[in-house]
C-alpha cells in the first residue's frame, strides 16, 4: 500500500504476528484477544482495521463500547493514534459529532457506537461498501454473550469476509461470562483466541515507569500482578459479585444522575468508617458508585465535616442502625440520618438485590476501597473445600453501606436491611 510509509512490524508486538497472518489470510471470522495491561491488543486491532479499510475500497468499521460516553476518551483516540502511527493522518478526517473518522479518498468510515441499549443498535448504511470490521472494546463490560449475539445479528450483514474483534482484560472471576465465553469460543473453527501480556512488548514502547510499576506490584502483590499485568484469571469461583464493572465515571455523567443515594457504616476500633454516594438506574438495573470516605480512627466531628464537604446540600443518609448513639451524635452535629431497617434475613435479601443487578459500576480512582472490597468479596469454604452458605462478615464495609443506601429503592418494601 503506497500511502503507508512505515513497516507494520515496527508497530505491532511480536506476539501478534501470527494473529496478523490469520487476519490477512481470512482464516477466521472472530478474534477474541485477551490480555493484561500494556499488552497492546487494542493498538494492534486499531492498526489492522485502519490498514484493512485502506486496502479494501468497500470496507468500513463499527467500533463498540458498552457505554457511549466512554468512546471518545478511549477507543476513538486509539484509532486516531493508529492513523498517526501509520503516517496517513493527511488521508483521514475526524469528527466528534457524529463520532466517526472518514477516509478522505473514498468516503469509507470508522464509526463509533455505544451499546447502552443493544436492541436499538442497528446496522449502519455506509456511502461506500459495508461494515467489514467490528471491534468490541472492553467486551467484558457488556452484560452477556446473548447481548453480543444480539448486536452481531444486527451488525453482521452486507458483504463478504466480515471480521469481528473482541478485546478485553480478563475479569478476575472464573465465572464471569467473558471468561467462560472464551473457553467456549476456543473450540469453534471460525474463531481464534489469543492471549498476550506486556512481557512480549518492546520495553521502550511501554516506558520505564510502566515497567517499574509492574515489577513493584509483582513483588508486593503477586496475585494482583498476575491478574492485572499478565491477564490471568485468578478468581476462585467463590466470588459473590460477578456483575462488576470498573471504569471512570465522568463528572458530566454524574451531573445527569437525577437521584443520589447515601449510606454510612460506622467504624469501630480497627474497622473503618465508610460513607458512600451512588446512583441507581432502576430501568437498567445498574448501580454507579462514585464517592467514598473510608478511614479508620476517624473522630465523629471530623467525619461529619468531611461528609458535609461531599454532601453540601445535606441530603438524607441511611446509616447502620446498630449504632443509635452515634446516629444521635451525627444528627446533633448537623447531618440528616435515618437508621437502616433490619429484620430476619435482611442481609441475604440485600445481598441478593446487589447480585441481581445487571451491573455495578465502580470508579476505581474515586472509590478504591469500594472497588477492592466488592472485587475481593468471596464466600468461604469449609474444611472439605465446599462453599459455605453464609456471607463472611469481614472486608465488607462498602457492601454494607451500599445496602443501607439503597433501602428506598427496594421493590415493594420486600428488601429490608
Q: Is the same domain home to 283 and 173?
A: no
How far, rounded to the nearest angstrom, does the alpha carbon of residue 279 sit from its chain's CA centroid? 17
Q: Which domain holds residue 83?
A: 8-213
Segment holding 227, helix H or strand E: helix 222-230
Q: Is the same domain home to 339 and 276?
A: yes
DSSP letters for 85-97 = HTT-GGGEEEEET
**What is the distance between the alpha carbons of residues 209 and 212, in angstroms, rounded to a whole number?**
5
What's the confidence (pLDDT) of residue 101?
98
**What is the distance between the alpha carbons of residues 348 and 152, in angstroms, rounded to a whole number?**
37
Is 228 marked active-site? Answer: no
Across 252-392, the runs of DSSP E, i.e. the strands, are: 261-265, 273-281, 286-295, 317-319, 337-339, 359-362
Give whole-number Cα distances, 232 to 82, 171, 295, in Å. Answer: 27, 9, 31
DSSP 169: P
Domain annotation covers residue 252: yes
Residue with cell 415493594: 412
- pLDDT tens string for the chain (417 positions)? 446 768 888 999 999 999 999 999 999 999 999 999 999 999 999 999 999 999 999 999 999 998 888 899 899 999 999 999 999 999 999 999 999 999 999 999 999 999 877 666 777 789 899 999 999 999 988 878 888 999 999 999 889 999 999 999 998 777 678 888 888 876 789 999 999 999 999 999 999 999 999 999 999 888 889 999 999 988 777 889 988 888 889 999 999 999 999 999 998 777 899 999 999 999 999 999 999 999 998 999 999 999 999 999 999 999 999 889 999 999 999 999 999 987 767 788 899 999 999 899 999 889 999 998 998 898 888 877 777 888 999 999 999 999 999 988 874 444 333
Across 169-260, the runs of DSSP E, i.e. the strands, are: 191-196, 244-246
3-state secondary structure (DSSP) of residue 280: strand
Q: Is the same domain home to 65 and 189?
A: yes
Are 116 and 151 contacting, i.e. CB atoms less than 8 angstroms apart?
A: no
Domain annotation covers residue 332: yes
**What is the distance between the alpha carbons of residues 271 and 368, in angstroms, rounded to a whole number?**
16
Q: Is the same domain home to 172 and 250?
A: no
Enter the C-alpha cell of residue 411.
421493590
Q: Is the same domain home to 62 and 201?
A: yes
What pTM did the predictor assign? 0.64
Domain annotation covers residue 221: no
Give whole-number Cα distances, 59 to 49, 101, 160, in Å. Answer: 9, 13, 10
Q: Is the same domain home to 48 and 197?
A: yes
| Contacts for 3-10: CB closer than 8 Å, 24+ residues apart | 3/54, 3/88, 3/91, 4/51, 4/54, 4/86, 4/87, 4/88, 5/87, 6/85, 6/86, 6/87, 8/47, 8/51
What angle, 0 to 180 degrees and rounded to 10, lies between the N-to-C axes of helices 77-85 and 41-55? Answer: 60
User: Smallest Cα–Cα separation from 100: which of 126, 137, 66?
Assistant: 126
Q: Is the same domain home to 199 and 73?
A: yes
**What is the distance between the alpha carbons of residues 136 and 65, in angstroms, rounded to a whole number?**
6
Cβ burial 320-346 (10 Å sphere, 16+ → b, else e): beebeebbeebeeeebebebbeeeeee
Are 112 and 76 contacting, i.e. CB atoms less than 8 angstroms apart?
A: yes
Number of independent structural domains in the chain: 2
Report the CATH number that the domain containing residue 18 is assigned in CATH: 3.40.50.300
Active-site hit among 138, 141, 277, 292? 138
Cis peptide before 98 (omega within 30 of 0): yes
Q: Is the same domain home to 194 and 61?
A: yes
Q: Is the same domain home to 150 and 284?
A: no
Angle 100-106-107 from CA coordinates, rounded to 5°: 30
Q: Is the same domain home to 26 and 98?
A: yes
Q: Is the same domain home to 195 and 276?
A: no
Amino acid at each position: 500500500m503506497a500511502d503507508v510509509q512505515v513497516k507494520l512490524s515496527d508497530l505491532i508486538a511480536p506476539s501478534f504476528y501470527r494473529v496478523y497472518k490469520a487476519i490477512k489470510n481470512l482464516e477466521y471470522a472472530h478474534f477474541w484477544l485477551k490480555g493484561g495491561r500494556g499488552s497492546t491488543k487494542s493498538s494492534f486491532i486499531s492498526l489492522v482495521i485502519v490498514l484493512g479499510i485502506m486496502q479494501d475500497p468497500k470496507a468500513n468499521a463499527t467500533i463498540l463500547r458498552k457505554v457511549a460516553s466512554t468512546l471518545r476518551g478511549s477507543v476513538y483516540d486509539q484509532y486516531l493514534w493508529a492513523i498517526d502511527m501509520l503516517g496517513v493522518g493527511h488521508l483521514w478526517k475526524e469528527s466528534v459529532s457524529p463520532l466517526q473518522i472518514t477516509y478522505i479518498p473514498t468516503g469509507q468510515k470508522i464509526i463509533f457506537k455505544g451499546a447502552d441499549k443493544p436492541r436499538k443498535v442497528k446496522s449502519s448504511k455506509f456511502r461506500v461498501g459495508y461494515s467489514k470490521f467490528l471491534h468490541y472494546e472492553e467486551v467484558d463490560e457488556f452484560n452477556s454473550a446473548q447481548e453480543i449475539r444480539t448486536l452481531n445479528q444486527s451488525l453482521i450483514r452486507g458483504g463478504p469476509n466480515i471480521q469481528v474483534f473482541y478485546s478485553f482484560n480478563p475479569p478476575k472471576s472464573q465465572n464471569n461470562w467473558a471468561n467462560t465465553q472464551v473457553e467456549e469460543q476456543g473450540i469453534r473453527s471460525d474463531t481464534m483466541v489469543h492471549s498476550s501480556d506486556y512481557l512480549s512488548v518492546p520495553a521502550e514502547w511501554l516506558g520505564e515507569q510502566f515497567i517499574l510499576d509492574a515489577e513493584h506490584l509483582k513483588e508486593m502483590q503477586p496475585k494482583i500482578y498476575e491478574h492485572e499485568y499478565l491477564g490471568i484469571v485468578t478468581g476462585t469461583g467463590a466470588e459473590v459479585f460477578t456483575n462488576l464493572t470498573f471504569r471512570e465515571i465522568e463528572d458530566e455523567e454524574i451531573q445527569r444522575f437525577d437521584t443520589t443515594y447515601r449510606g454510612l457504616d460506622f467504624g469501630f476500633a480497627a474497622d473503618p468508617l465508610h460513607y458512600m454516594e451512588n446512583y441507581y438506574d432502576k430501568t437498567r438495573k445498574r448501580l454507579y458508585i462514585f464517592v467514598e470516605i473510608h478511614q479508620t480512627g476517624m473522630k465523629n466531628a471530623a467525619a461529619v465535616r468531611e461528609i458535609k464537604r461531599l454532601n453540601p446540600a445535606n441530603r438524607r443518609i441511611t446509616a447502620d442502625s446498630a449504632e443509635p448513639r452515634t446516629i444521635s451524635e451525627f444528627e446533633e452535629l448537623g447531618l440528616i440520618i435515618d437508621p437502616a431497617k433490619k429484620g430476619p434475613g435482611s442481609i441475604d435479601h440485600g445481598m441478593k438485590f446487589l447480585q441481581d443487578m445487571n451491573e455495578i459500576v465502580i470508579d476505581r480512582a474515586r472509590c478504591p476501597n469500594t472497588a477492592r472490597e466488592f472485587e475481593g468479596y468471596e464466600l468461604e469454604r469449609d474444611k472439605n473445600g465446599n462453599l459455605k452458605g453464609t456471607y463472611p462478615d469481614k472486608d465488607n464495609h462498602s457492601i454494607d453501606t451500599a445496602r443501607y443506601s439503597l433501602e428506598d429503592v427496594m421493590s415493594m418494601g420486600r428488601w429490608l436491611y
